[in-house]
Chains A and B, each alone.
Chain A
């Protein structure tokens, strides 16, 4: 749908209709509404989660200025509010992408096969904390965390074991590497294994997370690289992968974990997009054309409790991205302007009290994600507040997705809630507020600066304090916890997934690896990488060469810490 900007605005309703609607509204408000209800409305006590005032009633007058064709449009067309593809889920149902990661890679291999057998169409692979933070399983820092909350990956051998007997050319894999410093290593292991198995580069499909906000703000850790370094590595990953692996999304701007760490819906989207803007500026500076990399940038949103605000957020985020790519970066390709995103339901909303209630919470959030037009979805498991998901809980999540897809009819028509006066009002309001918050960040000197000086950490801490106070006072209701409080909670005994042998198995593998690899080759790779850290060159080719020669994740990360130095996380007192 190509539009001419000079066309005059065509509003949904004529002035005559609007006048009559306004008169009708005033009559209703003053004469139909009871006095007490009118007073309550005037007190303005209702807000969305992010603080947008919510009226008792929305009418066409609230969307009077909306020009349908220009402001909302058609799916697969500018400004993409209604979705990124013309026929949306009829043509391409959202990918049912559940997480799989626990214990050693060999254990995860079984879980992946289990999920694929039950109809999952994509795989998210998760790592344990040592892997996430870049330590080998036998490093002293890894003690007590090997194989918990995700799988250990120390070397290319582990990626091979993770995908044993799985056709890496036939699946799409999300490699949840959070940090740029590990995204420059672990996906490289994945590419190398796939290529060793004869999968051509154009068949390797997936996503890695690669977000410097995760490295320096959302997650804390004992040893953290400075924000400008992490940002550089983030850009190295995007640049290298765009030039070599056409079906791999080299970055997933992680609004999700920002939200879980403590932001509202506006901040979540604005911060993630501010990072995308910073990346785009850097890659353009490096000489890349925006249409070369923008189509491969993807986003990751949280789906929290406020049903309509969350749907509005998803729709608004597409419009914001479209405008930025088109107007600010001058993108020519429509693919550059499409915001594609994965959604995970909000783990932070799940309770330990009466855990089965979480099935209901997650199902509603999952439905909202589909109304928001997500490209892939993970629904959290009901045992989230106890441990990483058990097989039973993982299956309930998978089934919830399939119920939404196959039984509710929600995917049969595109963007079915469009046209709701409330939703369209909220969507425009979110667009406005997201742009305003991006502006705040840019006025601070950009996102890297806002992280370096601790501003973003303080924003998160402030949000959390306010949110927690509302829970403590009962202003924010949590069913079973501070509202209709469960007297005899934790009725369900939750099994905990455990693989106690992970450490010894990983250690034995590392011992064998160190014996079998060539020390000369390892030294050579490490020396080159060390030198290149201080050049302007992209580091990816050098980390990839290293992992092919059996250099471990922990060794590369240690090298980064030595060469780049460490940064002190703000908020420590």
Chain B
């Protein structure tokens, strides 16, 4: 890998909880990745940012219940824009029974509360190495 892993991280839509997403951004950055935290954005804006930044990974955070709607929409827009190799990670408060639908819809990994930061860091590295 010639350059650091490039990660674009967004707070999905109107969700107000920035504690977790900012922490994940900091930990990924401290592990050597190039992280752009874009704040609260909607799917179209997130895809645009991913394109501009030439992202390897898009991280979406939500504790606001919009994972099935805006989360899946973001994945679809990425695919429509032919960014097939960009892997999408999601984190936040996401009911376990919604996870299969997210994974079927093209989300690469979903991480809930209690996940150690090291798990997320390793998982992002693995996703890019494949």
Contacts and interface: CB of A to CB of B under 8 A. Distances in A.
A129 B14 CA distance: 6
B2 interface: no
A48 interface: no
B95 A387 contact: yes
B114 A478 contact: yes
B96 interface: yes
B18 A261 contact: yes
Looking at chain A's contact residues, the main secondary structure is loop
Going nearest first, the 6 A-B pairs with the smallest beta carbon separation are A144-B69, A148-B65, A219-B16, A144-B66, A129-B14, A222-B40
Interface stretch (A130-138, A189-197, A291-299, A308-316): A130-138
Contacts of B6: none
Interface stretch (A226-234, A464-472, A543-551): A464-472
B96 A148 contact: no
A31 interface: no
Contacts of A490: 96
A135 B42 CA distance: 14
Interface in B1-36: 11, 13-19, 22-23, 25-27, 35-36
A496 B117 contact: no
A496 B98 contact: yes
A569 B39 contact: yes
A87 B115 CA distance: 46
B15 to A, nearest CB: 6
Interface in B64-104: 64-66, 68-70, 73, 93, 95-98
Given A465-B26, A572-B38, A141 B14 contact: yes
Interface string A120-164: 000000000110110100001111110011000000000000000
A461 B22 contact: yes
A353 B19 CA distance: 19
A573 interface: yes
10 contacts: A129-B14, A129-B16, A144-B68, A145-B64, A220-B18, A353-B114, A385-B113, A388-B65, A468-B117, A569-B40
Given A149-B65, A222-B42, A387-B95, 17 more contacts: A130-B14, A133-B14, A142-B14, A145-B64, A148-B65, A220-B16, A220-B17, A220-B40, A221-B14, A222-B41, A348-B19, A353-B114, A385-B93, A385-B114, A465-B26, A494-B96, A496-B98
Given A129-B14, A222-B40, A472 B116 contact: yes
B105 interface: no
A262 B19 contact: yes
B40 to A, nearest CB: 4
B21 to A, nearest CB: 9
Contacts of B18: 219-220, 261, 571
B123 to A, nearest CB: 15
A478 B116 CA distance: 12
Interface in A86-133: 129-130, 132-133
B65 A465 contact: no
Contacts of B64: 129, 145, 148-149
A464 B13 contact: no
Contacts of A140: 42
Contacts of A148: 64-66
Interface string A15-26: 000000000000
A312 to B, nearest CB: 25
Contacts of A496: 95, 97-98
Given A220-B40, A222-B40, A145 B65 contact: yes
A572 B37 contact: yes
A410 interface: no
Contacts of A141: 13-14, 42
Contacts of B98: 496
A386 interface: yes
Contact of B65 (A142, A218, A387): A387
B16 A132 contact: yes
A533 interface: no
A177 interface: no
A351 B14 contact: no
A221 B97 contact: no
A301 B116 CA distance: 28
Interface string A220-259: 1110000000000000000000000000000000000000
Nearest to B27: A468
Nearest to A503: B69
B14 A145 contact: yes
Nearest to A217: B18
A129 B64 CA distance: 7
Most A CB within 10 A of own CB, among B18, B25, B37, B96: B18
Given A135-B14, A261-B19, A262-B19, A494 B26 contact: no
A171 interface: no
A383 B98 CA distance: 15
A481 interface: yes
B69 A387 contact: no
